[in-house]
Copies of this chain bind each other. A is one copy, B any other.
Amino acid sequence: MESKYRAAAARAILTSLVTPYCPEATTLMKYCQLCAGPITHRIPPGDDKPRYCCIDCDVVFYENPKNIVGTLPVFGDKVLLCRRAIEPRYGLWTLPAGFMENGETTLQGAVRETLEEAGARIRAEDCELYTLFNLPYINQVYFFFLTTLRTPDFHAGTESLEVALFAEDEIPWDALAFSVVKVTLEQYFADRRSARFHVRMFDMQYSTERQLQAFLVSNSFTLKSPA
């Protein structure tokens, strides 16, 4: 076993020197999680994309996008926002949202995050899917559910500095944490004015001026038979 590990370590050092740059590899992987053998980044047989592969046991490790799930909680004519107590974007305002966990649904995750970050207990039957965002440059997909607060009961969780309700003219537009939050709020107030609420999916892309822009991909209001 000694010599196996010594050889594996030597090869891992050599491998790290020749591993090609790969923008799709978001996490560093140097050793196999099954056998501790050295990892290389190469296109496996029958595949067309580079993957982390173990040189010793030939196992291939795939990386996939992660989902962020959250809510847009509404009480009367106001929406609920949380001021972030964590990086990134410490001190800026956001909607309650976080990484979807194994073992839960997107809506269960959104309800959980709303309780954890905003201390607000919402009911699944009060939620409807509302905005979705693809963020391919960071391998994320966002889901926001539109929901009702039955009572104005909320408090800052450990990841929030404060939680508050805002009318449209009170929204801190210049102090929002994320573009997906800004777009979701803009859609909500526009939909409220037209009294037509749509499910929309957007792609977030950087312009040539390095500005993050939202491109509408799909809109439930225009969904019709392809026939």
For chain A, the bracket of interface size reads: 35 or more
Closest to A218 in B: B129
Q: Assess whether B225 is in contact with A126, with CB atoms less than 8 Å apart.
A: no
| Chain A contacts with B in 154-181, Cβ cutoff 8 A | none
Stoichiometry (number of copies): 2
Chain B residue nearest in CB terms to A107: B217
Q: Which chain B positions have C-beta within 8 A of A141?
A: 67, 100, 106
Chain B: CB-nearest residue to A221 = B220
Minimal beta-carbon separation of A125 from chain B (angstroms): 9
- Given A64-B100, A66-B64, A199-B199: A107 and B218 interface contact (C-beta under 8 Å): yes
Most buried by B among A6, A65, A104, A224: A65
- By a CB distance below 8 angstroms, the chain B residues around A148 are 226
CB of A145 within 8 A of chain B?
yes
- Whether B30 pairs with A227 at a CB distance below 8 angstroms is no
Q: Is A130 an interface residue (CB 8 A)?
A: yes
Does A2 interact with chain B (Cβ within 8 Å)? yes
- Partner of A139 from B34, B102, B203 at Cβ < 8 Å: B102
The 4 closest A-B pairs by CB, nearest first: A5-B5, A105-B134, A220-B220, A148-B226
Residues of A within 8 A of B (CB): 1-2, 5-6, 8-9, 12, 23-36, 39, 49, 62-67, 74, 76-77, 99-108, 124, 126-130, 132, 134, 136, 139, 141, 145-148, 191-192, 195, 197-199, 201, 203, 217-220, 222-227
Could you list 19 examples of A-B contacts with CB < 8 Å? A1-B9, A2-B2, A8-B36, A9-B36, A12-B36, A25-B102, A32-B33, A49-B101, A74-B227, A103-B136, A128-B218, A129-B199, A129-B201, A148-B226, A192-B227, A197-B223, A197-B224, A199-B199, A199-B223
